Structure 1
Amino acid sequence: MNDLPLVLLHAFPVDARMWDAVRAPLSERLRLITPDQRGLGRSPLPETDREPDLDDAARDVVALLDRLELDKVVLGGCSMGGYLTMAVLRLAPERVGGLVFIDTKATADTPEAAQARHDVAARVETEGAGWMPEAVTPGLLAEKARPEVVERLRELITTQPPSGIAWAARAMAARPDSLETLRSVDVPALVVVGEEDGLTPLEAANTLVETLPDATLVVLPEAGHLTPLEDPAGVVEAILGWYPA
């Protein structure tokens, strides 16, 4: 088993169960850690007067590494999990020995995209999460996604606490551009993207590859934005084929 553990951070608006299909095959070869982010899954949302900020979620990740007595890990995530990975890089780059970016991007939101996130936060606080699957699934999965994947995504979304979804949406809207952070990285990186990802498409993945000093790109055919749900075998093969010694 590789000595360097792998920490994978989940996407929005789901929790760490999105990694269920990759968990067993990765765990055969690696120590795998898949935490729920604050306010989602089984992780509580701390009471605070602070504005939502991924830097606070990054401190959660570093605190987890401290509790597990892990000096250095391979850190990665899908979509929002990638944004959070970049926040950890800003906070504690010395804890990161490799990077896995899955269907994510390094640039900040446009004003329009940020406003859309604030609108989601406000609506989910008012109405709950029941409306979200119909609203977001077309962007999160490939057009011909298998029915069981669509249903699994629905379950993952509708079981999230509305307060956690709202916090995460507002935190993502406030995140900075991370290109300069990635230019200074001195560890190997893997970039995975679904061929049919419409939210963070191949262009965004290519920007990551061009920015990172040592990056490998894997494109998964016929998959959308949530490749660990749609093509878990492809994600596992990409990670294990790349994983640093």
Structure 2
Amino acid sequence: MIKMPPLQFAETNGIRMGFYEAGPKTDTPPVVLCHGWPELAFSWRHQIKSLGEAGIRVIAPDQRGYGATDRPEPVEAYDMEHLTGDLVGLLDHLKIDKAIFVGHDWGGFVVWQMPLRHPSRVAGVVGVNTPHWDRAPMDPIALFRQRFGDHMYIVQFQDPAREPDRIFGSRVEQTFDAFMRKPVARPPGTPEEQPIAGVGASARLNLAFPQMIANYDAKHDPRTPILSAEEKQVFVDTFTKTGFTGGINWYRNFTRNWERSAGLDHHVKVPSLMIMAENDAVLPPSAADGMERLVPDLEKYLVKDSGHWTQQEKPDEVSAKLIEWRRKRFG
């Protein structure tokens, strides 16, 4: 297993944030890697090593609610102001003027917000699977409910009784067994939704992840795991300790974030890269169609034969692209 650099801590934005760093401190602009759900800075272990060895300064935090970082109690402490403010505070702690922000999954939503909210601190943005969209025409939770129904996982995550938190928290190993796998290869022309063994079609199509996990049995899953046993243990041990509520609270701010972004200009005015994964069922490459309207200085790159966990499924390809783009655009 790849060893992580030593864990360090920063006081930022009212919390203590754990982070990892590699590469020469003199390198600018540094690259900040922002993970998604249910992940950790550890999800970037391959990129931390590759970028650091390539002479690029790289920083990967456990974000608010995750891993070694604080998990405040109030739900609204996980809104977009807080999540972007944490990253600004991390730069302040490290005395960094500007950085390139790279985000996967939920981390992608956060990094695309950085140049909108903190333009003076952003040199460039890279979305991994997560595209940049304009503000939704209506409350996103209402949109998800309309399109996918009440069982769609993001709609379920709004449950004040926190039943999804309990399901994941009582089945931590099952959760990572089920999620962290390569998708089944699909013949050309078939839908992008991926089957998950032992789960009914309605649960799959509605993205009903809590029910999927509750009924999941790894013995009947033909898909290939992405993580070694040792790597999986890192996630299992960490989430056994922290639970899932911190990360799920990010989803509980969809409506608040939407309401509070009403006056925001959604154009991204920095060099940007969009890395797409061919077989991502939740964030397919087609989700990035038309991004150029909001992100004029955009390069797109498709990772073939990868599902959702792109930086862990195709680590060498993702690292090589990040290094190549960073050198091309920033020297």
CA–CA distance in structure 2, aligned partners of residues 168 and 154 of structure 1: 24
In structure 2, how many angstroms separate the alpha carbons of the residues matched to 1:88 and 1:216? 18
> Which range moved further: 93-102 or 107-116?
107-116
Distance 1:121 1:225 in 2: 28
Number of the residue aligned with 1:190: 273
Q: Percent identity?
A: 26
Render the CA deviation track for 1:29-64: whole Å, top value 9, x for unaligned. Answer: 310010111110100113447464122111111111
Question: 1:168 aligns to what?
Answer: 250
Amino acid at match of 1:111: F
One-letter amino acid matched to 2:251: A
Contact between 2:41 and 2:62, CA under 8 Å: does it hold in 1?
yes
**Which residue is equivalent to 2:103?**
77
Retained in 2: the 8 A contact 1:121–1:170? no
Match among 73, 86, 99 for residue 60 of structure 1? 86
CA contact (8 A) 2:99 2:124 kept: yes
Name which of 34, 38, 59 aligns with 2:60: 34
CA displacement 1:148-203 (0-9 Å, x = unmatched): 4275457526632223133233235644398x968522211010011101111111
1:92-103 matched pairs, under 5 angstroms: 92-103=118-129
Considering Cα pairs closer than 8 Å and 6+ residues apart, tell me whether 1 or 2 has the greater RCO: 1
Distance 1:84 1:121 in 2: 26
**Residue 319 of structure 2 is aligned to residue 236 of structure 1:** yes
* 1:206 correspondence with 2:280: no
Give, in whole Å, the separation in 2 of the partners of 1:141 and 1:120: 30
Which secondary structure does the structure 2 equivalent of 1:34 belong to?
Answer: strand
Instruction: Give distance in 1, aligned partners of 2:119 and 2:107.
Output: 16
- Provide the C-alpha distance between the structure 2 equivalents of 1:27 and 1:190, rounded to a whole number of angstroms: 20
What secondary structure, in the 3-state scheme, does the structure 2 residue paired with 1:147 have?
Answer: coil
Distance change (3 Å), C-alpha of 1:137 and 1:35 = same
- Correspondence for 2:200: none
Moved more, 70-79 or 153-162: 153-162
In 2: Cα distance, 1:26 partner to 1:242 partner = 12
Residues 116/173 of structure 1: CA separation in 2 closer, same or farther (3 Å cut): farther
Partner of 2:163: 123
What secondary structure is seen at the aligned counterpart in 1 of 2:248? helix
The alpha carbon displacement at 1:134 in A equals: 4.8
Choose 199-208 or 31-40, whichever is displaced more. 199-208
Q: Report the CA distance between 1:6 and its aligned residue.
A: 0.4
- Match among 283, 301, 306 for residue 223 of structure 1: 306
Identify the match of residue 159 of structure 1 among 238, 242, 258: 238
Residues of 1 paired with 2:166 and 2:302: CA distance? 38
Which has the higher Rg, Structure 1 or Structure 2?
Answer: 2
Could you list the per-position Cα deviations for residues 110-163 of structure 1 after superposition, in whole angstroms to 9, with x for gaps in the alignment?
332541332498124434524366568766653146424275457526632223
From the superposition, tell whether residues 138 and 207 of structure 1 become closer, same or farther in structure 2 (CA, over 3 Å).
farther
Query: Aligned runs of 1:14-53 on 2, under 5 Å?
Result: 14-28=39-53, 29-48=55-74, 50=76, 52-53=78-79
Unpaired runs of 5+ in structure 1? Answer: none
Q: CA deviation at 1:208?
A: 3.0
Specify every segment of 5 or more residues in structure 2 that has no aligned partner in the other structure, as ranges: 1-23, 146-151, 185-222
8 Å contact 1:22–1:228 — kept in the other structure?
Answer: yes
- Greater per-residue helix proportion: 1
* 1:149 counterpart (227, 234, 238): 227
1:86: Cα distance to partner?
Answer: 2.6
| Structure-1-length-normalised TM-score | 0.85
Q: Tell whether the 8 Å contact from 2:62 to 2:68 is kept in structure 1 after alignment.
A: yes
Partners in 2 of 1:38 and 1:169 — Cα distance?
A: 13
